[in-house]
Amino acid sequence: MPMKTEKQSLLGMYVHTHWGYNRPYAARSWTIADWEGYLAGLNALGYEMIMVWPLLDSMPPEPTASDRDFLATLGRMIDLAHDRYGMKVVVTACPNTIGNEKSAAYTFAQRPYFVCEKKINPKDRREVDEFMKGRRKQFEPLRTADALAIIDSDPGGYIGSTNDEFVALVKGQIEGFRSFNPQAELIYWMLAGWENYNRFWAAAQGDPTVEMWEHFKGEGFQETLRMMQAEVPEPWSVFTMRKEHREAVEALGLRDKAMAFPYGLIEGEPTFPLTNFSPAELENGVTAALALREPRGIMANAQTHCLQLPGTYMFAHFVRGGTAANMDLERFAEEVLPGTGKTLTRGWRAIGERDPDVQRTVAGELRKYVGTAKRAGRLSGLLFGDADRFLTDLAMNLDLRAALINLKSSLDSESTKISGAIHRVLDHLRTYQQRLGYVDAFCGPLDTELNQQLERLDDDSLSMVLKDFENWRNPAVRNGIVPRLLAAMEDYYQRSK
């Protein structure tokens, strides 16, 4: 059953399962015990809402055995969130995407999204009907969720499709979900806008490196919202991220339906999994989002939740009116792993301070706790059951970041030791990447600290791989690109040492 009571203004966390890599880094790999620990930690920090994208959009219309197992785990998670923590649960999906003929050949945990996604034509009644039949089969195990969120772009879309077709797809999906749960809420997740996104896809056919936001325009949101007012039965609400979303909501008197979703403040996606630490940036982002005073609350997000503990804490701290000056990271760290608070805090702060010598020193200090730090704290669920893995991950993060800083310094000074700096990055990155199992394209810190630095070498072999990171015409070429990048770096090192 859906949760019985609902606070109007909520603090939420979005769990993104798109990218398939190792447990517990990738959310699609989580067991029910992982979910239980994570929900306990979130709830203790003040989070009252959880949203998950269950990748229905690359799952076959007839879910496989591994799909059914995953959906059953999510069903148990929903009940646990309701019954033990009183949390609201949202599942999210795209308007017109579902698994293609290749999708059933993969297990859920290993399925590559873009290889297995099919975009159905909103103008084709037969395709739409088959799509909705498949969606209902996917929805049934998730039927006790409180709400279904549908995003208007990225992924999904169809060149030439119009906003009225988007609303019809949304209406069809919420009707399917409500056939199992009549009281379920619909949430319209405003992002680029349906027609804007379709213009982007049209442009990408001629230029695979085109940026999505180049084709973002403010128009279209009011039209979409008006059609939803006329055609989608209550209850429904909206996620807002940009000023254009806010302006459309205000213009139509729909402010009471809005929840702020400042995407990417803790961690963007797709991003190569590294622990982030930038209190000032995070505080500014949360403060700006709260200034909108969205009545339904605010949503955070991350991609690799077991690495983003400081951001998860700080987001909740800032939402409650705290500042970077008065946050108590050491106390938080002690509640995660008693006896390690000072060293954990030094490690997190060293990420932001960008001193490679300090980073390497603290990495060594963290490793001294491996095998000894066993006591459970109030927030130990955030460790996903393994304190040693958590400590080792942070130490490896610091060593890798130190090597990346040294690479940039070598390039800035036009040092003759660039090949050696690349080799040191490779030594750390290879081991860490194998630990994570992450193989797909990324933006975020590693893009800035590695890809953008490698571009400066103007090497044909490296450039060929780096170019594919930006290919939107055929996103499937980005699946498995990290091993290709590592191989190209090794080749460069061998040629230049």
DSSP sequence for 241-282: -SHHHHHHHHHTT-GGGEEE--TTSS--SSB-------HHHH
| pLDDT level of residue 4 (50, 70, 90 thresholds) | very low
User: What would the pLDDT profile of 276-314 be if each residue is shown by its tens digit?
Assistant: 999 999 999 999 999 988 999 999 999 999 999 999 999
**Region 380-409 average pLDDT:** 97
| pLDDT level of residue 414 (50, 70, 90 thresholds) | confident
CA Rg, the chain, in Å? 23
* pLDDT given at position 205: 86
* pLDDT, averaged across the chain: 95
- Per DSSP (E only), the strands in 169-220 are 185-189
CA nearest neighbour of 34 among 22, 20, 46, 45:
22
Identify whether the C-beta of residue 384 lies closer than 8 Å to the C-beta of residue 33.
Answer: no
pTM to 2 decimal places: 0.95
- Sequence spans of domains, the chain: 10-327, 331-496
Compute φ and ψ for 310, nearest 5 degrees. -60, -40
Compute φ and ψ for 90, nearest 5 degrees. -120, 135
Tell me the three state secondary structure of residue 93: strand
Tell me the three state secondary structure of residue 189: strand
User: What would the pLDDT profile of 29-70 be if each residue is shown by its tens digit?
Assistant: 999 999 999 999 999 999 999 999 999 999 999 999 999 999
* pLDDT given at position 7: 52
CATH for 10-327, options being 1.10.3720.10, 3.50.50.60, 3.20.20.80, 1.10.1660.10: 3.20.20.80
Beta-ladder partners of 259:
239
Q: Is the pLDDT of residue 106 over 70?
A: yes
CA nearest neighbour of 451 among 480, 412, 408, 419:
408
Beta-ladder partners of 148:
91, 186
End-to-end CA distance of the chain: 64
CA nearest neighbour of 128 among 138, 119, 120:
120
Q: Is the pLDDT of residue 209 over 90?
A: no
Report angle CA 75, 29, 307 to the nearest 5 degrees: 115
Q: Is the pLDDT of residue 208 over 90?
A: no
Contacts (Cβ under 8 Å, ≥6 apart) of 107: 64, 66
Identify whether the C-beta of residue 12 lies closer than 8 Å to the C-beta of residue 48.
Answer: yes
